[in-house]
Structure 1
Amino acid sequence: MDHPTPAGIAYLPHIPTPESIIFSDFDGTYLLPSPNPERTPATDALESYLQQECLPQRLLFGWITGSSLDNVAQKSMRYSLRLWPHFIAGALGTQLWMFSQEHGAVQEPMWEQRMTESGFSQEKTDTIVAALSRDGIRLVAQASHNQGPRKVAYYYFMDTPERDARAKERTLQLVEDFGLTVHFARCGVGVGDPNNCYDVDFTPRGSGKKAIVDHLLSIWNIPQDRTAAFGDSQNDKTMLDTVAHGFVVANAEESIKQDHYTILQAPGPAGILDGLRHITANSQPQHLAQP
């Protein structure tokens, strides 16, 4: 894959011996969707905090997102982001890149080998979708910007609870037979998805947000009690459940707020900043609310 970083983006300093790691969703969490994309004071404050505090706190920060790296780059330009984090796991954790001032942009080799050797193919997903169609289960392909090199994205429009359960069960059975992974998550209307449907994303076996968290904790030897994550939707649940401290921003879906996570009273980057201050300084932030 070519170098993914758009012009004008800075990197954080390399952390030689990281002690903590923070994961964040991108769309709807770090980046608030807007019909008129623009840089906000909340983004300024969050980027400044990361530049000032990550190295002294020995803190790694990164995004795990359903968006591909190309899509992240395009959105970064549209919203005038000036900083990329230490790592980006794109296309539901099927891509993994590391970034630092000292080493530039580097594709994580062990993860790339794992994905390359997974046996994932478009042909397999096409066969699964055709089999579902024969069973009366219709998946609708998502737009090209929601696809990835090893992620094939569809919508499933909700029917009766019984038919929805049958569709999910049949899909899980087929991906098991073909050695793939499928991710079901209620669509986020706030990020441009249709109403009353599920994201159905086919990816390699062993990929996904939880798998990325586990892999990065392993390669950096960071204990689980030194981890936190920020999200806004059911698509983030496996990531939030894997870390010690799970936060949801104020603009999160109501369904994810019903779980046991800490609910932040500020949306998007302002909520992330309050959560980071709470984690790193053990302070009582202005916008932090307990579940």
Structure 2
Amino acid sequence: MTAELLLISDLDDTFLGDREALRRFSEFFPDMKEQLAIVYASGRFFETVKDDVRTTPLPEPLAVIGGVGSEIRSFPEGELNQNWVERISNKWSAKKVREILADEADVKLQPEKFQSDFKVSHFLRGGSQEQLDRIQAKLFDAGVNASVIYSSDRDLDFLPEGVNKGTAAAFIARELGFDQDHVIVAGNSGNDAKLFEHDFYGIVVSNAHEQLKQYADLHRVYLSPHARADGVRDGLRHWIGKLINES
């Protein structure tokens, strides 16, 4: 890698959601293209992210973390990272997760386009921590080791234990040759929270959910006064000179 820094960022309502802000970012990015590599970390899967890169001014990434961390694919080829697959496969069965949750009245399975071998997604409105803990215990008692990720007071994702955007980000950063002092993460919602738990430098955009804004108290996290792509741009300006000067 020739770039000195790696940005790992969420897409929806972080980079995307304001066309003019994204246009401003696309005008700003060429000046730092040699210094900064990008990986996108999305709740969505590779093909829809690839469509976004093709149809918007989004910079082209090195890789895409998809399905809330359940897959990592190279860009633009879409080749699945088999090292990650091997790492997350232990004691996991998407089919069994579906079967166990079938009798949960408040939990509704999302459409098939949001499912994969390593991610089972449901809708749950107004779920409590007590309910989430009970569901996780139910899975554990059935022999399924699963991470339970609840975000936006609506999206309930089940992934192999320990799998989330943060662990996937740490994995791909190491594979690409970046240590934690040369990684910046950005996000806006609950499923981005794990990105901020690996001592990376962080950017929380102003339109972030309150669940994520609490991470702004951490010493390496910057809460931008700007929203979406403007916030990412502002956050990079905040961090990038400091980090490159310290390199």
- How high is the TM-score relative to the length of structure 2? 0.82
Counterparts of 2:99 and 2:112, CA distance in 1: 19
Match of 2:147 among 168, 182, 198: 182
- Give the SS at the match of 1:84: coil
* Structure 1 position 99 matched with structure 2 position 78: no
* Structure 1 position 66 matched with structure 2 position 43: yes
For residues 118 and 266 of structure 1, do their structure 2 counterparts lie closer, same or farther at Cα, with a shift above 3 Å needed? same
Match of 2:231 among 258, 271, 283: 271
Specify the alignment match of 1:232 in structure 2.
188
For residues 263 and 95 of structure 1, do their structure 2 counterparts lie closer, same or farther at Cα, with a shift above 3 Å needed? same
Counterparts of 1:118 and 1:51, CA distance in 2: 42
**Structure 2 unmatched ranges of 5 or more:** none
Q: Conserved in 2, the CA contact under 8 Å of 1:183 and 1:199?
A: no
* Structure 1 position 216 matched with structure 2 position 188: no
1:135-179: CA deviation from partner (whole Å, max 9, x where unpaired) = xx53112234433342111122226xxxx3332122111333433
- How high is the TM-score relative to the length of structure 1? 0.71
The 5 A counterparts of 1:158-177 are 158=126, 164-177=128-141
Post-superposition shift, 1:82?
5.4
1:196-248: CA deviation from partner (whole Å, max 9, x where unpaired) = x3421112234211211221233234222222211111221111222332211
- Give the SS at the match of 1:266: coil
- Root-mean-square deviation (CA), in Å? 2.7
- Give the SS at the match of 2:33: helix
Q: Conserved in 2, the CA contact under 8 Å of 1:229 and 1:243?
A: no
Match of 1:86 among 62, 79, 82: 62
* Structure 1 position 45 matched with structure 2 position 20: no
Counterparts of 1:280 and 1:43, CA distance in 2: 19
Counterparts of 1:26 and 1:256, CA distance in 2: 15
Match of 1:248 among 197, 204, 207: 204
For residues 47 and 107 of structure 1, do their structure 2 counterparts lie closer, same or farther at Cα, with a shift above 3 Å needed? farther
Counterparts of 2:231 and 2:15, CA distance in 1: 9
Match of 2:124 among 156, 159, 166: 156
Counterparts of 2:178 and 2:26, CA distance in 1: 23
**Structure 1 unmatched ranges of 5 or more:** 1-15, 34-39, 188-196, 284-291
Counterparts of 1:146 and 1:243, CA distance in 2: 30
Match of 2:156 among 200, 212, 216: 200
Q: Conserved in 2, the CA contact under 8 Å of 1:250 and 1:263?
A: yes
For residues 242 and 204 of structure 1, do their structure 2 counterparts lie closer, same or farther at Cα, with a shift above 3 Å needed? same
Corresponding letter in the other structure for 1:277 = R
1:246-267: CA deviation from partner (whole Å, max 9, x where unpaired) = 2111211234224314211221
Corresponding letter in the other structure for 1:172 = Q
* Structure 1 position 54 matched with structure 2 position 33: yes
For residues 113 and 158 of structure 1, do their structure 2 counterparts lie closer, same or farther at Cα, with a shift above 3 Å needed? same
Corresponding letter in the other structure for 1:182 = S
Corresponding pairs, count: 238
For residues 114 and 208 of structure 1, do their structure 2 counterparts lie closer, same or farther at Cα, with a shift above 3 Å needed? same
- Give the SS at the match of 2:121: strand
Counterparts of 1:156 and 1:214, CA distance in 2: 29
Q: Conserved in 1, the CA contact under 8 Å of 2:92 and 2:146?
A: no
Specify the alignment match of 1:7 in structure 2.
none
Q: Conserved in 2, the CA contact under 8 Å of 1:227 and 1:243?
A: no
Specify the alignment match of 1:193 in structure 2.
none
Counterparts of 1:50 and 1:98, CA distance in 2: 21
Corresponding letter in the other structure for 1:127 = E
